[in-house]
Structure 1
Amino acid sequence: MREDFLHYIWQHQYFDKVDLRTAAGEEIQVLRPGYRNADAGPDFLNARLRVGEVEWNGAVEIHLRASDWARHNHQTDPKYDQVILHVVGSHDADVARTNGSIIPTLALQPRLLPELLGRYQALVETPGPATLPCAPLLHLIPEITKTMMTERALLERVERKADAVMALHQHLGQDWEATAYHALMAAFGFQKNSEPLARLAKAVPLAVLRRHRHDQRQVEALLFGQAGFLTDNEETSGDEYIQDLKREHAFLSHKYQLQPTALQVHEWNYLRLRPANFPPVRLGQLAGLLHARPSLFEALLTAGSVRALSEFFQAPVPAYWRTHYRPGRPGKVPALGKSSTDLLTANVVVPLRVAYARHVGQAALVETIVALLSELPAEHNQFTDMYESLGFTHRTAADSQGLLALHKNYCGPRRCLQCAIGSRLVQQPRVA
């Protein structure tokens, strides 16, 4: 049994309340269990209880064992002085506040409903990550419950991404153009190279890039030079294009003192990537985009359709990077595909617009912004395909994003009790 099960039991009061008493024998009446605390401090706040003849208002703390109180050093933390009841699985120690006063303890283990505990354990103790803990029981769940949970997971995912955009916005001095630039650079890494591209955005400051956006050659020199791709080797020594960019980068790097922030070529990832996804190819596409689209934020904010966004991302690529997938190594390179522009819309445009809507006090627009995802085709990978095979709706990118969030934040870590599907299955064995 995990502590989150006791949280769930207390929150919903799913335990035997007949002759409810503390470990010391005092009668307990739960008038209000309190509400979950998402911040530091006790687990439930604003609880209302009657213990013996006294009515209390305060907090409730929950542990598997009463002795966990001391293990977590709550006896020295004033935040826990407001605790009026210590709810535990088993009572193996008395606990006290910082002033030494004993806190009443309620042991729930003897009061748990065996069938409830059994259904919970059947969910969270299912071995292996390959399938869902609830897979054998999904036929018992109404379609509306699955749909609502997927939509909830989607909104949580979008909000978390918007939170990251807002944090970036704060870090960049509340400059929305810089925020769009950094977010776009990281997203062009498509997971495998997101981290080095995020660092490249710092290595090529937007203030410097703005001064040279009109000159595509200088934009390429800044990006490829700071990325560490303009090095001499057998393939590049006779390549005049690379040598020309190298000379231009040397001049710009000295002018703006950029060399200390430059990346090294070994910091980029090529493992299990198709040539069309190689970092220099993506960087060439970015160079074309940054040269041709001088106002990133305004364009990403105002584009009226998925088609307009796709056209925005598919800016003309420099000629060299249409015929080379590594410096000095020729090969026919396809243009940025629609699946890539769809991912950029989902991972950059939607979070950026949600963050901006919140920033200007137009949170009501969030649902409309998220609806953009319903205009994009569904993504397919091992996780979305698994959910689809189990009967979850999977028609658009909104479904895909929701299913991915469901897996990452609920099914994978076995947070079944926080999921509407798992909670429903634990509460009752027959729901349909």
Structure 2
Amino acid sequence: MKEDFLHYAWKFQKFTTTQLKTSEGQTVKVLSVGQHNHDAGPDFFNAKVSIGEQMWAGNVEIHLKSSDWYAHHHEKDPAYDSVILHVVWEHDAAVFAKDNSAIPTVEVKNILNTATLDSYRKLFSKKQRWIACEQEFPNVEAFTIHNWLENLYFERLQQKSQLILKELKASNNHWEAVLFNLLAKNFGLKVNGAAFYSMAQSLDFSVVKKCAEKPQELEALFLGQAGLLNETNEDGYFQDLQDKYGYLSTKFKLSNADVVAPKYFRLRPPNFPTIRLSQLAMLYAGQKHLLSKIISTHNKEAFYEIFSVTASEYWNTHYNFGVVSTKRKRKLTTAFIDLLLINTVIPLKFCYANAVKKDISEELIQLASSIDKEDNSIIKKFNQLKPIAETALHSQGLLQLKKEYCDKVRCLQCAVGNAVLGKKRE
């Protein structure tokens, strides 16, 4: 038994009787359970109850045992002076207020709803499962899950905002520089995200803007800072970029000593760092006001136009320097652009809107709902349990659900867990 389950039982009054009684035998009628407090202090604020013939308004504290009041030193904390009712699983000790009057206590271990208690024990059994409600998840109404996923989606955006806010603070609110850092990180995907991010951070964004007038210089800048022009190579294009980077490095006093080296291992050729950095360079060479375009653009198709970029011509026949391959334009795919929208564009738009105190929730819901779901092991597993994920909004919500609720067994704070606990058994 965990204390947060008693919070749930009190909040939703999951008792077999409406006639609660104190340890002294007085009848307790609950007019308002109060506001659930997740911070320090009593567990429920501003509850209203009648005890016997007396009406009370104040706070409710919940413990597994009455004696926990003293174990937690609440008798020394003024925040607990306004507690009007003590709700416990087991009443093992009388608890007194500062005026030495006994604080009314309700013991609930014999009056908890049986079905709810059975569901709780099943949910929190020690049996190894991918998620605690694995057996019950398929039976939860899709409406409940989809509503919860929308909430989780914005919760995930709030978390992603923390990195953006940190970037803004470090750059003195330079939104364009922050966008560049985030795009670089996500152009690198999981394998080279950290490497590309370190490359971006090694550059002052003013240097990027100055080089953007000459696409080949910008490509040389990115590849050189990433350490991809350090070796000796007889390829003419390599040597040309190497010379340009040497000039830029001297001109702008650049250093890449702290840049993480990009990897090629286990990457498909279209994701080679040479290709992705060239595409990033062509994006910034072709889009002079990228931040303002992103902020003012609202639909997926328009974003596809913005990110419709191709690596420089040399890469049409190469994936790496000096190695000729089948001729094909190395263009950003819609699937790749979708990832940029999910991981960079939408979080940045969300954070920017918050900064200017503008609500664009509906716009972001529509945009995320227009993008296909992500394809990874977590989403596949959820869809095996119940085919629930169709859009990026769903898949992002499910990733948040798994990481922040399922893995941490926070079922009592989860709408799905609450639905499982509230389900009536035949």
CA RMSD of aligned residues (A): 3.7
Preserved CA contact (<8 Å) 1:228 1:262: no
SS of equivalent to 1:259: coil
Contact 2:34 / 2:46 at 8 angstroms: preserved in 1? yes
The TM-score normalised by the length of structure 1 is 0.81
CA distance in 1: counterparts of 2:79 and 2:315, whole angstroms: 59
The reply to whether residue 344 of structure 1 matches residue 343 of structure 2 is no
What secondary structure is seen at the aligned counterpart in 2 of 1:367? Answer: helix
Instruction: Give TM-score, length-normalised by structure 2.
Output: 0.82
Task: Give, in angstroms, the shift of residue 80 of structure 1.
Answer: 5.4
- Hey, what does 2:282 align to over in structure 1? 288
Counterpart for residue 149 of structure 1: 148
SS for the counterpart of 1:135 is coil
Q: Secondary structure at the match of 1:193?
A: helix
Distance 1:346 1:104, change over 3 A: same
Q: CA deviation at 1:66?
A: 5.4
Give me the whole-angstrom Cα distance separating, in 2, the residues matched to 1:307 and 1:331: 31
- Out of 287, 295, 298, the residue aligned to residue 301 of structure 1 is 295
Q: Does 1:21 align with 2:17?
A: no
- Of residues 97-106 and 280-289 in structure 1, the stretch that sits farther from structure 2 once superposed is 97-106
Q: 1:189 to 1:107 in 2, by over 3 A?
A: farther
Q: Quick one: structure 1 residues 108 and 182, their matched pair in 2 at CA, closer, same or farther if it must change by over 3 Å?
A: farther
C-alpha spacing 1:5/1:212, structure 2 compared with 1 (3 Å) = same
Distance 1:272 1:32, change over 3 A: farther
> Is 2:421 the counterpart of 1:420?
no
Cα contact 2:63–2:89 (8 A) shared by 1: yes
Confirm or deny that 1:375 pairs with 2:376: no
Percent sequence identity is 36
Cα separation, partners in 2 of 1:338 and 1:113, compared to 1, 3 Å: same
C-alpha distance after superposition, 1:364-416 (max 9, x if no partner): x3212320122223333333233333343443333333333333333443333
CA change 1:41–1:227 in 2 (3 A) is farther
| Distance 1:264-1:145 versus aligned 2 partners, 3 A rule | closer
Determine the C-alpha separation between the residues in 2 that align with 1:81 and 1:326.
Answer: 71
Identify the residue that residue 189 of structure 1 maps to in structure 2: 188
DSSP-derived class of the 1:47 partner: strand
Counterpart CA distance in 1 for 2:223 and 2:100 is 65
Instruction: Give CA deviations for 1:52-85 in whole Å, capped at 9, x if unaligned.
Output: 8876554444444556667767677665565555
Post-superposition shift, 1:248? Answer: 3.9
- Residue by residue, what CA displacement relative to the aligned partner does 1:280-314 show, whole Å, maximum 9, x if unpaired? 33222211112221222112123353222123223
Measure the CA separation in 1 of the matches of 2:39 and 2:240.
55
2:173 maps to amino acid = Q
Q: CA deviation at 1:263?
A: 0.7
**Could you say what secondary structure the match of 1:344 adopts?**
helix
Counterpart for residue 37 of structure 2: 37
Letter in 2 for 1:6: L
Judge conservation of contact 1:157–1:405 (CA < 8 Å) in 2. Answer: yes
C-alpha displacement at 1:118, in angstroms? Answer: 0.9
Q: Which residue is equivalent to 1:404?
A: 399
- CA distance in 1 between partners of 2:68 and 2:203 (Å): 50
Cα deviation, residue 219, structure 1 = 1.7
Post-superposition CA distance 1:127-146 (Å, at most 9, x none):
3343662434633x444323
Structure 2 residue aligned with 1:362: 358
* Equivalent runs, 1:160-199 vs 2, <5 Å: 160-162=159-161, 164-199=163-198
Q: Secondary structure at the match of 2:229?
A: coil
* Alignment gaps of 5+ in structure 2: none
Which region of structure 1 is more displaced relative to structure 2, 197-206 or 250-259? 250-259
Q: Deviations over 1:322-375 (max 9, x none)?
A: 444445655457432211111112222222223333333331x32123201222
| Contact persistence 1:225–1:262 (CA under 8 A) | no
Query: Structure 1 residue 175: deviation in Å?
Result: 2.9
In structure 2, C-alpha distance between the alignment counterparts of 1:328 and 1:43, rounded to whole Å: 67
Kindly provide the amino acid, as one letter, of the partner of residue 20 in structure 1.
K
| CA–CA distance in structure 2, aligned partners of residues 74 and 326 of structure 1 | 67
Change (3 A) 1:260 1:55: farther
The 1:328–1:64 alpha-carbon spacing in structure 2 relative to 1, beyond 3 Å, is farther
Q: Which has the higher mean CA deviation after the structures are superposed, 256-265 or 109-118?
A: 256-265
Q: Deviations over 1:97-132 (max 9, x none)?
A: 999998765544344233211111212337334366
Structure 2 Cα separation of the partners of residues 78 and 255 of structure 1 = 64
One-letter amino acid of the counterpart of residue 391, structure 2 = T
Q: Is the 8 A contact 1:357 1:366 kept in 2?
A: no
Indicate which of 331, 338, 352 corresponds to 1:335.
331
2:309 to 310, 315, 320: 315
Correspondences of 1:179-258 after superposition (within 5 Å) = 179-232=178-231, 236-258=232-254
5+ residue gaps, structure 1, are none
| 1:343–1:132 CA distance, 2 compared to 1 (3 A) | farther
Stretch moving more, 25-34 or 39-48: 25-34
* Cα deviation, residue 50, structure 1: 5.5
